[in-house]
Amino acid sequence: MPPKTLLIPSLLDAHWPLLRWAFQSPVWTPVVLEGNRADVEDLGLGRTHNDLCYPFVLITGQVLRALRSGEYDPARTGVLISQTGDGCRGSCLIRLLRPVLDREGFTQVPLLSFNVRGVERSSALPVSLTMARRALAAAFWGDALLLMGGETRPAERRAGETAALIRRWEEILSGDLASKRNLSPAAILRRCREMARDFQSVETRPAPLQNVALVGDIYTKYCALGNWDLTDFLERQGCRVGINGLTWYALYYLDSHLEIGPLPMRLGGKLLAALGGPMQRRFIRILREAGFTVLPPYRELKALARELNGTRCALGSGWLLAAESAAWVRAGYRKVLSGLPFQCLPGHIYGRGQYAALQRQLPGSLIVGVDYDASLRDGTVENRIRMLLDTEL
């Protein structure tokens, strides 16, 4: 019997082309959902309350649009929902989405939870060794494409060369992941070194670019649907956008969120953290030797956070937001944009609540928060961003 279809809502734009292979199995074939923001937003708002989490509105719209399209057999389709398992309302997505699908007549479509804290255990997607190996490789390779592509693209002499190089490497790396080749730590880093050589060869032009760092909620940080194509907008304004990699967030999550959960998950998380830390240091060295800007390793960021506001705040992006902001400022990205879904309580309390203290400790920098919500219009958000860009430091 052929595999069933596993629908994956948008979240990690730079990583999903590779990370989706972690969920490929004899049971499931993953499909990453896309969609026009206006379409999925309207569809989501028609079935959910506007006061709910904005990412939930978009995820609902994406899932319903896919299931209504006729492309997928509901009897052989599932939906993957990533959950943090902390105070984020994303921890309740399955309980919120299930009634919506039932009312729409998709009672047979299972919602599968991907988390490491034992949330929704009855619907949790089993984690295998193959899944973990593929995910580790995809996380580092996706980070390499995100970091080097983001630094190269705004200054490329031949328009489209960086995007073409990213697509070429996605094809190569997808072949590795599909065939389970080059998944050892040494092979993963060797591929990163090969990518660095290729990105070094992209001819750039001297350009007066503004450096702007993007921090904040994981959905509005990595997902163009969630941040309204923010990276593209900033690059059109003459900016180089710094977005830190997923492996930093993964290590933060494993380090701060695994006090509870099933014992196998806790042990597996500690093993991944023990393996990922040294790999990340070598990964950073490879990219820096090739001339790219990369933030310090996770352990150094955590030490930096202790100097700032401490590390007790671990809900949502928590103290990682402060550490990344300070590290980007030290790296020459003195303007920091923090994107959050409107009414995201962890984001507003543990994120926005740190801005004033950070601003006092980082003279010569500017941190601006931007909220995203279905009630806001593009012009409102873009004008707030332009205020940051037009401010002289």
pLDDT in tens, 203-226: 999 889 999 999 999 999 999 999
The long-range contacts involving 184-191, CB below 8 angstroms and separated by at least 24 positions, are 185/136, 185/275, 185/279, 188/136, 188/137, 188/140, 188/141, 188/279, 189/140, 189/279, 189/282, 189/283, 189/286, 191/137, 191/141
CATH classification (class only), 209-244+295-393: alpha beta
> What amino acid is encoded at 112 in this protein?
L
Same fold, 4-123 and 209-244+295-393: yes
DSSP of 251-272, one letter per residue?
Answer: HHHHHHH-SSS-HHHHHHHHHH
What residue spans define the domains of the chain? 4-123, 127-207+259-291, 209-244+295-393
For residue 26, the model assigns a pLDDT of: 93
Q: Which pLDDT tens digit goes with each residue over 97-135?
A: 999 999 999 999 999 988 665 555 556 687 888 998 999
Statement: 4-123 belongs to CATH 3.30.70 = no
Q: How do residues 38-76 score in pLDDT, each as one tens digit? A: 999 999 999 998 888 899 999 999 999 999 999 999 999
Give the pLDDT band (50/70/90) at residue 389: very high
